[in-house]
Amino acid sequence: MKLDEKLINTVKGFLDRQEGKALYEIALEASRRGPCLEIGSYCGKSTIYLGSACRKNNSVLFSIDHHRGSEEQQPGEEYFDPELYDRKTRRVDTFKEFRNTIEKAGLEDTVVPMVCRSELAARLWSTSLSLVFIDGGHSYAAAYTDYNAWAGHIMPNGYLLIHDIFKDLEKGGQAPYHVYKLAVASGLFKEVSMINTLGVLRRMPSGAIPETLPQK
């Protein structure tokens, strides 16, 4: 099955088409070797790209989001969307939208939604991942937590993808970029490419891991 561009255009999200296509292509290669995982699924736009690739290889995409919106998506903040606000519970709720997207995209047998914070999902995690996509909260604390919780689960030659990399301070928040630099400085990952604001890193093969790792 090809990517459903029509559906993708109806899904709310902050991922552009080129970035999405890159997610798809990389996941197509990676998911042959193991499951993929994303943090920050929101309404499911990136989930369609990653999940469609996983489906082709009969693999699985774990998709983590507490679905309460990140800091910048709360009422009164810059990225608040009233359509995603549940008046009854007085909370942002993106899970309904997400579920709807997964169903329409035919990904219910591929995507495992994990409705919780990423560090809870990671607490007893022990499965090696072929790809981790970090697109969760954009505060330093949230971005570091996501990186620290998941980077160690990426298999040798697996991918670490980070969204919203702005090398120019004027263009956007710096937390994802700092995490990107931290990953490179660790010696565990090498830079592969940058597609708009999508940073692509690849885990070194096991033999290349330096004996002494820099402190986190």
- Contact (Cβ atoms closer than 8 angstroms) between residue 53 and residue 3: no
The four Cα atoms 200, 22, 6, 48 give a dihedral, to 10 degrees, of -60
Q: Is 178 designated active site? A: no
- Contact (Cβ atoms closer than 8 angstroms) between residue 150 and residue 132: yes
Q: How far is the CB of 36 from Mg ion (least distance, A)?
A: 17
Residues forming contacts to Mg ion in the complex (CB under 5 A) are 14, 135, 163-164
Q: How far is the CB of 50 from Mg ion (least distance, A)?
A: 13
57 versus 133: smaller Cβ distance to Mg ion: 133
Report d(CA 56, CA 187) in Å as an integer: 32
Query: Residue number with the shortest CB distance to Mg ion?
Result: 163
The DSSP output letter for 23 is H
Q: How far is the CB of 163 from Mg ion (least distance, A)?
A: 4
3-state secondary structure of 112: strand
* Torsion sign over Cα 178, 167, 131, 78: positive
Q: How far is the CB of 13 from Mg ion (least distance, A)?
A: 8
125 versus 166: smaller Cβ distance to Mg ion: 166
38 versus 135: smaller Cβ distance to Mg ion: 135
Main-chain dihedrals φ then ψ at residue 8, nearest 5 degrees: -55, -40
Residue with tokens 């996983």: 54
Main-chain dihedrals φ then ψ at residue 196, nearest 5 degrees: 50, -110
Q: Which of 66, 67, 138, 163 is catalytic?
A: 138
136 versus 158: smaller Cβ distance to Mg ion: 136
Residues identified as active-site = 138
